Amino acid sequence: MTRPTRKVQLDSSDRKDGGAVDQPPALALLSSVMHVADAVHGARTRIAHATGAVPTIVAYPGYGGAGWVRVLARMVLMRKSGATKATLRGWRAFTSVPIRNSEVEVEVGGVTHTVHADSGGLVDVVLDADLSPGWHTFTLRSPVADQAEGRLLVLAPETTFGIVSDIDDTVMVTALPRPLLALWNTLVVSERARTPTPGMAVLYDRIVAEHPAAPMVYLSTGPWNVAPALARFLARNLYPDGVLLLTDWGPTRQRWFRSGPEHKRRNLERLAQEFPGIQWLLVGDDGQHDPEIYANFARTHAAQTAAIAIRQLSPGEALLAGGRTPEDAAHTEHGTVTWVSAPDGAGLAQQLKTHGFL
């Protein structure tokens, strides 16, 4: 395992000559949209304070390796009742307002670090920490919020196998790409009413039993707002404990919308760099971009791809999802990497067993 490195990209304000940079019309329009978004955020912040919302730290499971950890958390304004129950359920998850650029103290391994949330309230930092392999607890403190505790999974240097799993339509039946159904599932339906994909929890349990040291990473294009609800869903349906890697919605300073496929590609690349000795079993479904994303990863990181497992959507699910990814086109020339597909966890397990993974 290697210590991850950071890159800093300078914008026009960092130019040594101080010269102005002409913006293309599209970027100028995007800048205007961001000004509107900033104004909306300011209004939401004032309303949240007026209605009794308080600063709250929401901690997410992180991970790390020898000498380092990646800490994930979010600073938000939310109602005190929700804060005490540590839940952000259904549409209420989206009423929380991110606290931008706030200062947070992270205590991990007996050492305290001062970090800052980003413009979306997200704390995503890599810190030095000398921790033994296994799960550990870290503490988050803020001058304006009650402290919170989160967990970290530190991988042993000799770990050679891990699992990356999609969530929507892979472990949870959601048909997320259909806009109206996506809004219903995300904003209205409680995680108690959501349907687990048949056989997937059993499949993952068998894989983890066969590879006890394997990290479980749930990589999804879902927003951080619903992370607590997703964690409860996974636990309630007996999925293995693991790390959630989610994203934020809405415009950024560089683009109109955050790209879900790019989020997955970027995090897969990051995992490959952070853990060069681990081979990953990549599990997804054929209703979005998973086959293409995983096939590309296998082409560029064949030595770090143990196998690709694709859950095939039913005709009804594929219709709701807007179609099915052509599997033959997706994994053309994927080399010697094992590729299996089936409509449920039992079918995937049977095929993975023939390839020696179970």
User: CA dist 132 to 109, 205, 335, Å?
Assistant: 10, 24, 36
Q: Give the domain ranges of the chain.
A: 54-154, 161-354
pLDDT tens, N- to C-terminus, the chain (358 residues) = 655 544 333 333 333 444 444 556 654 554 555 555 566 656 666 665 566 678 899 999 999 999 999 999 999 888 765 444 444 444 455 567 888 889 999 999 999 999 999 888 899 999 999 999 999 999 999 998 999 999 999 999 999 999 999 998 899 887 555 455 555 555 555 666 678 999 999 999 999 999 999 999 999 988 888 888 889 899 999 999 999 999 875 544 444 445 668 999 999 999 999 999 999 999 999 987 899 999 999 999 999 999 999 999 876 665 555 555 555 545 544 557 999 999 999 999 999 999 999 8
For residue 4, CA distances in Å to 165, 219, 346 come to: 22, 19, 37
pLDDT tens, 271-319?
999 999 999 999 999 987 899 999 999 999 999 999 999 999 876 665 5
Write the CATH number of the domain with boundaries 161-354: 3.40.50.1000
Other CB atoms within 10 A of residue 78 CB:
21
- Tally of CB atoms within 10 A around 283: 28
The answer to whether the beta carbons of residues 124 and 263 sit under 8 Å apart is no
pLDDT at 249: 58
54-154: CATH number: 2.60.40.10
Output the CA–CA distances (angstroms, integers) from residue 320 to 168, 264, 309, in the order listed: 13, 22, 21
> Could you give the CA distance from residue 128 to residue 155 in angstroms, rounded to a whole number?
14
